[in-house]
Amino acid sequence: MPPTTEPDSTPDTTFSLGVDAAMLGDDGHGGLLAASLRYVCRLAKALGDVLDLGDLSHVETTGSTIVIAEIGWDLAGDCRLRGQVLRSTAPSSTATEAAAPGEVDEVVDSCLQTLESADSVRWAAVVRRDLPLLHTDAAPAAAALGQVGLRALGILGGIGADLRETCVWLGFARGTLILSPLGAHCLVLSVDTQRLDATALVSDVVGTQAALAPHDLARATTLAERAAALAEAEARAAYEDEEFALPPINDLPLTGARFAGAPGAKARENSGARRFRRPLVPIPVRR
């Protein structure tokens, strides 16, 4: 899990939460933050299981207020955590609306291509509030991504908006997931922790939020709609090729009396007498 705070930062409050949900210390929110983090950890653990990332070990938020939690698990699968809350000393990175030119699909594709160009990013996905995927170069299967989107939206919904203005970091044994709110929607990044440049990636995430903020992602074309349109176009093209493509005129055989003897003319097979021809026999007339 990449640290996003200065080593000498002094936490405003510290707290711990046991497997029995008993809190020690002060989370600065009357115990609600600790309870929310426990809920978030359960959803994040399910994310790790779906994507085979191993056990969840850290949760951290990036914004004007930073929450850092170290996570442990007992044999029964219940979590215990130690957390701290502190004010960020870094300049505010809140996204400001700056409409990017182009249609919403073009803007989404452009922003995600920028994120995917980072060396540490394994795959990226945008999940709409009603769960369809808008853009992804994700390696997991579509069924797994649907579960990822559902839990990612639940995690962002379980943390106060003032605590995850930029993103939420989920540190696992075999990688990191970054969840960033896009209004009511969600950006998901899978990251190789060993190759991560946290400062540059946070800057790209903030830029993505700013570029997409003025656009209505509910009007964006989903991946399923794109795939259906592509399949329909391919099927239509194949049908037209099969039904209406005629062979070159020079390849057609020349048949009939008018083409007799012409180069390439098809010779009529001489099968002797016609199959159904009978000799003429006089018909007897009765008198």
Domain assignment present for residue 236? The answer is: no
Within a domain: 271 = no
**Alpha carbon of residue 130 to chain centroid:** 14
> Residues of 207-221 as b/e, b for ≥16 C-beta within 10 angstroms?
bbbbbbbebebeebe
Within-domain flag for 138 = yes
Domain contains 269: no
The percentage of residues in the chain with a pLDDT greater than 70, rounded to a whole number, is 71
Name which of 9-18, 63-72, 250-259 the model is least confident about. Answer: 250-259
| 5 in a structural domain | no
Residue 287 is assigned to a structural domain of this protein: no
Note the pLDDT tens digit of each residue in 204-238: 999 999 999 888 888 888 777 777 777 777 777 77
For position 263, what pLDDT does the model report?
56
User: For residue 83, is pLDDT > 80?
Assistant: yes
What is d(CA 202, CA 197) in angstroms, rounded to the nearest whole number? 9
Give the domain CATH number at 172: 3.30.450.30
- In this predicted structure, the answer to whether residue 169 has a pLDDT above a threshold of 90 is yes
Segment 19-36, tens digit of pLDDT: 888 899 988 888 899 999
Question: How many domains, the chain?
Answer: 1
Structural domain boundaries, residue 154 = 13-225
pLDDT given at position 7:
45
Q: Measured between alpha carbons, how far is 144 from 130 in angstroms, rounded to an integer?
A: 16
For residue 81, is it within any domain?
Answer: yes
- Contact (CB, 8 A) for 83 and 69: yes
Average of per-residue pLDDT values in the chain: 79
> So what's the pLDDT on residue 65?
87
Residue 84 pLDDT level (bands cut at 50, 70, 90): very high
Domain presence at residue 145: yes
CA distances from 186 to 35, 113, 223, 258, 282 (A): 22, 16, 15, 74, 96
Kindly tell me if the per-residue pLDDT of 64 is higher than 60.
yes
- Looking at residue 13, its pLDDT comes to 86
pTM reported for the whole predicted model? 0.74
